[in-house]
Amino acid sequence: MKPIVLTGFMGCGKSTLGRLLAQRLGCQFVDLDGAIERQAGMTIPQIFDRQGEEAFRLLETQKLKELLEDSSLVIATGGGAVLREENRALMLQKGVVVFLKAAPDLIYQRISLNDRRPLAKGKSQEEMAALYQSRMPFYQQCHICYEELDKTPLQCANELLLKLREEGYGD
């Protein structure tokens, strides 16, 4: 089995769905941003404030390389992990990349009250939708696209597991 890598915009449910999917597969779940925070001894907003986005992206690539060596993981990436070509190539080569697609208005509803997302801070719904659309070509470079349509996280996890198995993954 290859590691399963969940990509998608912030607030699309990667962490929630990743935990449920890992439970069903009997493997470990890792949130990439959480792993970076533990390694750096700082939160993501602190890394952005103190070192800048580029420093964060370098840490992200380094941690992603390390995690992709473990075939028994479900990894939830940060929404911007796909921005670096190196990350996309690594994920596609070493993992099963699943793009979790959600409606921009639903995403904005989820992230608008969360101050832990530096790139969303102070942004309007239109600005966030434009950022989402600018990243769409990168998200679409995946093995599987799963669109969340008004379902519970548990329903989504079960459907995604079936989709992975239909595609020959997750056995």
- Please report the pLDDT score of residue 133 as a whole number: 93
pTM here is 0.90
Q: What is the chain's mean pLDDT, rounded?
A: 89
111 vs 93: CA distance, rounded Å: 30
pLDDT tens, residue by residue, 9-56: 888 889 999 999 999 999 999 999 999 999 999 998 899 899 998 999
pLDDT tens digits, 78-125 = 888 999 999 999 999 999 999 999 887 777 777 766 656 555 566 677
In this model, does residue 171 exceed pLDDT 80? no
> What pLDDT is attached to residue 112?
67
3-state SS track over the chain? CCCEEEECCCCCCHHHHHHHHHHHHCCEEEEHHHHHHHHHCCCHHHHHHHHCHHHHHHHHHHHHHHHCCCCCEEEECCCCHHHCHHHHHHHHHHCEEEEEECCHHHHHHHHCCCCCCCCCCCCCHHHHHHHHHHHHHHHCCCCEEEECCCCCHHHHHHHHHHHHHHCCCCC
